[in-house]
Structure 1
C-alpha cells in the first residue's frame, strides 16, 4: 500500500477497541489508571495504532465537545469528560468517521487502545494517501505546542529528492522557509524563516531526537551536521515560541526525529539504492526490530558524486545505531550514536560577469576541500510515574571537527588557484581546523493535574551543558591538489580556545479554560558563561598578539500562548515569546589585531509574536494562516571610531551593538483535495493542490554606520533599509496526484530578490561579494511507486527547466563571490523492505 498508514488514511476504517485494553508499556500509557483529583469530570487517555501495531499520528479523537490530535506515539488525552456511556470518534482527512462506545466514571482516568484496520474493499486497490505536513497536538511527547506556530513534516509522505536532502522540496509546505542553495552534495542544510539568515541553519536551535547537534548553540551555533533525510521519520518545527523550552535562537526549534525499529517485527531490513547525473551514487540500508523488551535500529548511508559544477566532488558517509530497553512497565532506557564523515570539494565563487556569460558550471578552485567528522552519542531514560506524569532525561555529547584546506582569497575562473600569480609556482594552501568537545544533559517533566474542575498540563525542565572549541587557523598547507591537513609550518597563524557553560531552567503550563480555550504562559532562565584565550596572530619576531575575552550573564525569557477551538478541527492561536541570540565566538574575535571588541557587547534580544487560524474543513481542506511580528534588538556590527587617547586622526574598528530590525508579514499554507472536494467520492484518486506562501517586510528601524572621509568620521543611519537575505515574498505552489500505490508531486518555487548587505547595494562589486541577488523561479517534479508490497521506485528531476540562478554571495569561505545553485539534475532509486 502507499503510503504506510502512519498518518491519515483515505480508506474506510474499522476501529476495534476492547472496553479497556491496556496499551503497550512503550506507548507510555499506564495499564491501571489511578483515580485523579480532577475536581469534576473523567479523563480518557489512550493510543491509536494501525493493524501492524504502529502508532497513528495526527488523527482526531473526539468525545462530546472535547477533541485531541494523536501525537507521534499515537497517544491522546481528553480531560473533563462527562461520566457515563460516551462515544469515542476517530476522524481524519479523507477518512469516514468511525466510533466506539465506552463507559467513564467521574474523577477517574481510563485508558483505551484503538486499533485501526483497513476495510476489505481496500484489496481492490483504492488510493491511500496522507498529509505530509500538519501541526502538532497541544502536547507532542514532552514538548508543549499549544498556542504556538508549529509544523510537523512527515518525510515518508513526500515525493521529494531525499537522496541529496532537497530542502526546498522537504520544506515546501512550511510557509516562509528560505533556503540557501549553494551545496550540490546536499550535506549542508541552510534554512531560516521570517527574514533571518539561513547560514547553516544557525538561527534555529537545531536538534536530533531532541538533543543538541550543532557546534555550540551558545557560542558557535552552526549546524555542520544534519542527518540524511532518508533516515528521518519527521521534522518538528516550532517558530519563535520554541524559545521558552529550547532557548535560542530567534528562529525557534528545528528537530530531526530519526526512524525507529518496528514494534511488530523482530527483524526488518530496508535498502534504497540511487543513481543520478554528475556521477551520483547513493546507498541507504537499515536494520531494525523488536525482540522481547529490546527494540533496535541502525542505518548506514553513503553517497558519492561529481557535483553539478566543476571541482565539486563529494564522498559522504553516515551511520547510526540505537537500542531501547523496556526495563520495567514504567522505565525505558536507550542509547544511540550517530557518526558522519565526509570530504567535499569546494568550487568557490564566480563574478557576475562569469555567471551571466554562461560559465556558471566552471570553477578554477580545484584545491579547496572541506570536511567535518562528527560523532554524537546520547543516552536516554524515560520514567512513567503514572498515566499523568512522565519524566525524561537526555544526556548527549559531541566529538566533532571542522577542517578546510584551500585558497579562498581570489574569485573567478580568470584567477586560477593552481599557481602563485607572483612566482608562477604552486601556492601553499591555507589550513583551518576547529575541534569540538561538548557534553550536556536535559531533564524534562510533564504532568497533568486537576484544578478548579479542569485538567491542566505542566511542563518543566533543567539543562546543563559545557562546550569546548579549539580553533587553529591560518596554517600553512601543502601545494598539492587533494585533501591533506598536514601542516607545513611549526605553528598555526592563529590559535584560540573557547569555553561555554550553560545552565537553564524552564516552566510552561497549559491552563484549560472550559472546553475550548487554553492559555500557556512560560518562563525560562538562561545562565551563560563564555570565555576565550589564545593568540590572534604572530608578529615577525614570533611573539603573540593575545586575546582574552570573558562574558557572564543571565537571560530571562518569558511568553504566553493562547488557543481557542472554534470547531472540532479548527482553532485560533496566538503567541508572544521573548528570544535572544547569544554573542558568538566570531563576535568576540576581532578580524585584525587593531580591531577592538566592545567589553560591554550584549546578546541580541527581542521577541516573536504571531496570530493565526488553522485546521481542516470538510475533510478536504487543510490550512494555516498567520500574521507575525519579529523584533530583533541589539544587532551586532562594526563602527569606526577615534582611538581613545590616540593621536589626532587615528581610528580603529569597534565591534559593538549597532541597531534594531523589525520583521513583519503573513504566512499561509492551504492544501485542497480537489477531486474529493468536487465529488465527495473518497474512492477516487487524489489530487491535492497546495499553496505555501509568505509575504515579508524586514527593515532596520536603526542601524548606525560610520564612514571615514578626508580623515573625518561621518555618522549615518540605515533606517528603513531592508534586512539582507530577507525576500519580500517566498511562494511555493504545487500539486500531488495519488492513485493506488503511485503518487507524483510537482512544485514551483518563486523567491523575490534580496540584498546581501545592509547598505542595500544593487550593483555588484568586482569580487561579487556584495550586490543584489535577483529573484528566481525553479520547478521540481518527483514520483513514487510501490509494488509487490516490498518494492519502491522513486525518481525525479530538480530544476526541470535548467534555470541559472543563485541564492547567496559569500564574502570569504567558501567563495568569495556568488555561489551558483545547481542546474537540472535527476535521480532514480530502487527500494526494498523485508
Structure 2
C-alpha cells in the first residue's frame, strides 16, 4: 500500500499546465545577497511558494488576470508588486528586500542570536492568539534527542511544564503545566495540525499517540484561554504542526539514522515537495531498542502521507493519513528498597502493551476575499489500546500464572468549520474568528480478561472479559472571538463558546459466579453551557507588550468517571463536568535578535473535581459514591529568558555565537476543599484535603542551558532542577509497601547534545542524556504500567547521521 501511495504521488506531481501563465523571479537583499526560504504569496489566493537556495521562485499554472505578489523574509521589510498576466504568458518579477529591525509574526533567527522559543502572532491562521499566554517550540532550534522524543529537552524552554519520565521508548508523551497531572498529557487539548488525535477529548483524552519529533516542525502551546476556541482541557492547547511539503522545490529526500546504547536503532525517511499546484509529503520511521531497564523493549513503526492541491487560486484541498504500530514490553514498578538497590532491575517480565493508531483528515481552505477566509477540517481516528501482564501490587511475586488482558477500541470522527474576517467599526480595524464543531466518539472497553500464562505479547483470552462496556460521546459547539483595536498600542479580545455534550454508557459490568454476563445499568446524560472570556494586549514598544486574559474552562466527565469499580458502587446521576477559569498577566517580547523574554503570573481555578466517598445505604451497608467533591487552585510565576551576549556585544562574532536561557516556574497548587471519607472500625470518618498540595505538582520547575554555535558546529548543555512532589492527595511522605504513595524526591539531571554540518547535505547529531547518570523517578504508578516506582532512564547516548538531498 505504501509503495502504491508513493507512486500515485509522483504521477500527480507531473501535471500539464497548457494555456496557463507563469510568474518567476529572484529575491535578494540590498547588499545583493540571495535570500533562500523567502515567502512568496499571491495576495487574496491560496497560492504561495518559497525561494530556493539561489533565492529563485516560480509560480505555475496561473489563470490570466491581475495579481499582487507579496514577498516576506524574517528581518526584512515585506515587498509587494502588482502585475497583469496574460493567457500562457511568462512574467518575471524580481524583489530586493530592505533590512529592518521590527519582526512580524513568528520570529526565526537564521544566522545567530537567540534560537529558542518564539511567540504566536495576534492571528494565527484561523484563530486568535492575541492576549493569550503562548509559546512556539521550533524543533529546528533545539539540540535534542529527537529520535527518542526526549520531552525533557523538547520542553526545556517552556516554563512550568512538568514531565513524567517513565517511558524511555518515546512512544507516549506525559506532560502538564501549572500543577496539573501529566498522565498521558490528558489535561492538554492535544492536536496535530489543528485536529484531534486523542481517543476521545470528551471521554478519554489520554494522548496515546505522539508523532515522531523528527517530522514535527513546531509545537504550538496556548495556555488556559485556548478553551474559547478549542474547548477542553484546563491545561490549554498543545498542537503538533508537522513539516509541510517543501514549496521551494519539486523533490526533497531526507534520511535521519540514529543509533545508541541499549540497542537503539532509529531510521526516519522523508520525501516531499511541490510541483505546480500540487504539494506532497510522506515519511516512514522505524524505531526499536531494548530500553534502559531490564525487561524493556520497544518496536515502533510510523508512516504518514499528505497531499494538498490548489484547485483554483482561491481554493485548496488536502488529505492526510497517519498510521502507528507499537510493540512495547513494560518493565513494571519497583518498591523503594528495590529502586535504591538497582533502578535498572525489573520484577515483571511478561507485561506488554500495543496501540495501533490510524488518523485521517480531509481539509479545504477557501479565500473569500482579501479580508475573509474559510477553513473546513474533517478528521477521524480508528485505534486500539491493548495490554497484557501481571499487574498486582509489586510486593506480590509473578508466579507465571495467567495474565490480565485489557483492550480498548476507539472510533471517532469530527469536523470543524472556521471563519476569519477583518472588519471595521469606525476607525477601529478589528478581526473576528468564529466556528462550528461536531464530534462523535465511541469507546469499546474490554477489561479483566484471563490471558495466557506465556511471556509473549498475546492478547487472546479464555472465556469472556469481565467488563465489556461501550461509551459514546457526541459534542456540538459554536464559538466566536474578536479582536477590537481602539488604538495602535491597545487591543481587546472578547469571546464565547457554546457547548452541548451527550454521554451514554451501556454493556456488561461483570460476570456472575457461573461466568454469565451481568448487564450494566445504562447511563445517559446531556448538558449545555457557555464559556466566556476576555483579554487585552498593550504594546510598550514595537516588539514588547503586556498581555492578560481570563477565560472559563471545563473538563468533561470522563468514561472512567462513569465506570463503578464494583457493582455495589454508585455513580452520582447528577455528576457534573469540572469547571473553573484561567487568568494570566504577563509581559513578553524581543529585543533585536539577542534577547527573548516572557514573564507572567497565572491563576488556575479548578472546581467540581470528581472523587469518591463512602456512604451508608438504607440497609446500613456501606458503599462508594462517586460525585463532584473537590476544588483546587494553582497559582504562581513563570519566566523564560534567553540572551545571546555575543550577538548583543560583538559585531563580527568570529568566536562563534553563544546563547543562554533560563526557564523558571514557581507553582503553588493547593486543594481549597476536597471531602474525603475513610472506614475506622466499620464506621465512616469524614475528612477534608483542604490545604494539601495537589499530587504530582512540584513547586519548582527550573531549567537552564547554554548553546554555542560556529559555522556548522552547535553544542548545547542544559540542567533540569525539579522540586519534590507527592504521589497522592493526602500528601503521604513515608512510602507504603507497594510504593504507590509517598514522596517523589527532588532531582537534577543534565543533558548535552550537538550537531555538526560538514556538507550541504550531511549533518552529524550526537548527545548524552542524563550526563551524570542520576537515579531518580517522576512517578509512582497505582496501576498499569506499574504499579510502584517507575524509574527514569539513567545515562544514555546517541549518534545520528542526517542526509538531505534537494532537486
- 1:555 Cα deviation from its structure 2 partner: 2.3
Return closer, same or farther for 1:28/1:134 CA change in 2, 3 Å cut-off: farther
**Equivalent of 2:339, from 331, 336, 355?**
355
**Equivalent of 1:534, from 484, 504, 507?**
507
Q: Which residue of 2 aligns with 1:525?
A: 498
Q: Which residue of 1 aligns with 2:352?
A: 369
Distance in 2 separating the partners of 1:301 and 1:216: 26
Q: Which residue of 2 aligns with 1:398?
A: 381
Q: Secondary structure at the match of 1:480?
A: coil
- 1:561 Cα deviation from its structure 2 partner: 1.1
Q: Counterparts of 1:248-647 in structure 2 under 5 Å? A: 248-357=232-341, 359-411=342-394, 415-417=396-398, 419=399, 426-489=400-463, 491-541=464-514, 542-643=516-617, 645-647=618-620
- 1:666 Cα deviation from its structure 2 partner: 0.3
Distance in 1 separating the partners of 2:186 and 2:46: 40
Distance in 1 separating the partners of 2:390 and 2:653: 60
Q: Secondary structure at the match of 1:782?
A: strand
Q: Which residue of 2 aligns with 1:824?
A: 795
Q: Counterparts of 1:731-810 in structure 2 under 5 Å? A: 731-810=702-781
Structure 1 residue ranges without an equivalent (≥5): 1-10, 32-45, 56-74, 78-87, 93-97, 105-111, 120-125, 420-425
Q: Secondary structure at the match of 1:163?
A: helix
Return closer, same or farther for 1:593/1:269 CA change in 2, 3 Å cut-off: same
Q: Which residue of 1 aligns with 2:201?
A: 217
Return closer, same or farther for 1:160/1:594 CA change in 2, 3 Å cut-off: same
Return closer, same or farther for 1:115/1:315 CA change in 2, 3 Å cut-off: farther
Return closer, same or farther for 1:618/1:229 CA change in 2, 3 Å cut-off: closer
Q: Which residue of 1 aligns with 2:9?
A: none
Q: Which residue of 1 aligns with 2:693?
A: 722
- 1:156 Cα deviation from its structure 2 partner: 1.3
Quick check: 2:149–2:170 contact (8 Å CA) kept in 1? Answer: yes
Q: Do structure 1's residue 198 and structure 2's residue 169 form an aligned pair?
A: no
- 1:452 Cα deviation from its structure 2 partner: 1.1
Distance in 1 separating the partners of 2:457 and 2:72: 60
Q: Which residue of 1 aligns with 2:20?
A: none
Quick check: 1:780–1:799 contact (8 Å CA) kept in 2? Answer: yes
Return closer, same or farther for 1:732/1:49 CA change in 2, 3 Å cut-off: farther
Quick check: 2:536–2:547 contact (8 Å CA) kept in 1? Answer: yes
Return closer, same or farther for 1:482/1:621 CA change in 2, 3 Å cut-off: same
**Alignment RMSD, CA only?**
2.6
Q: Secondary structure at the match of 1:133?
A: coil
Distance in 1 separating the partners of 2:541 and 2:111: 28
Q: Which residue of 2 aligns with 1:242?
A: 226
Quick check: 2:257–2:801 contact (8 Å CA) kept in 1? Answer: yes
Distance in 1 separating the partners of 2:454 and 2:97: 62
Q: Secondary structure at the match of 2:362?
A: strand
Distance in 1 separating the partners of 2:161 and 2:96: 36
Q: Which residue of 2 aligns with 1:653?
A: 624
Distance in 2 separating the partners of 1:54 and 1:427: 67
Q: Secondary structure at the match of 2:738?
A: coil
**What is the TM-score normalised by the length of structure 2?**
0.89
Return closer, same or farther for 1:52/1:403 CA change in 2, 3 Å cut-off: farther
Quick check: 1:151–1:174 contact (8 Å CA) kept in 2? Answer: yes
Quick check: 2:227–2:233 contact (8 Å CA) kept in 1? Answer: yes
Quick check: 1:52–1:264 contact (8 Å CA) kept in 2? Answer: no
Q: Secondary structure at the match of 2:148?
A: coil
Number of paired residues? 745
Q: Which residue of 2 aligns with 1:686?
A: 657
Return closer, same or farther for 1:130/1:22 CA change in 2, 3 Å cut-off: closer
Q: Do structure 1's residue 814 and structure 2's residue 785 form an aligned pair?
A: yes
- 1:364 Cα deviation from its structure 2 partner: 2.4
Distance in 1 separating the partners of 2:440 and 2:704: 43
Distance in 1 separating the partners of 2:56 and 2:261: 37
Output one character per residue of 1:503-526: Cα deviation in whole Å (capped at 9) or x when no partner: 001000011121111111100011
Distance in 1 separating the partners of 2:362 and 2:752: 40
Return closer, same or farther for 1:769/1:12 CA change in 2, 3 Å cut-off: farther
Output one character per residue of 1:242-301: Cα deviation in whole Å (capped at 9) or x when no partner: 110000000010000111221121111000001010000010000011112110000000
Q: Secondary structure at the match of 1:715?
A: strand
Quick check: 1:375–1:399 contact (8 Å CA) kept in 2? Answer: yes
Q: Secondary structure at the match of 1:693?
A: strand
Distance in 2 separating the partners of 1:658 and 1:177: 26
Distance in 1 separating the partners of 2:665 and 2:512: 51
Return closer, same or farther for 1:399/1:324 CA change in 2, 3 Å cut-off: same
Return closer, same or farther for 1:711/1:692 CA change in 2, 3 Å cut-off: same
Q: Secondary structure at the match of 1:323?
A: strand
- 1:209 Cα deviation from its structure 2 partner: 0.5
Distance in 2 separating the partners of 1:807 and 1:113: 56
**What is the TM-score normalised by the length of structure 1?**
0.86
Quick check: 1:469–1:499 contact (8 Å CA) kept in 2? Answer: yes
**Equivalent of 2:633, from 659, 662, 685?**
662
Quick check: 1:521–1:559 contact (8 Å CA) kept in 2? Answer: yes
Return closer, same or farther for 1:520/1:797 CA change in 2, 3 Å cut-off: same
Output one character per residue of 1:171-199: Cα deviation in whole Å (capped at 9) or x when no partner: 11110000000011011110000000000
Q: Secondary structure at the match of 1:335?
A: strand
Q: Counterparts of 1:121-270 in structure 2 under 5 Å? A: 128=112, 131-270=115-254
Distance in 2 separating the partners of 1:289 and 1:692: 36
Distance in 1 separating the partners of 2:705 and 2:260: 23
Structure 2 residue ranges without an equivalent (≥5): 1-28, 58-67, 83-92, 101-109
Q: Secondary structure at the match of 2:168?
A: coil
- 1:714 Cα deviation from its structure 2 partner: 1.8
Q: Secondary structure at the match of 1:725?
A: coil
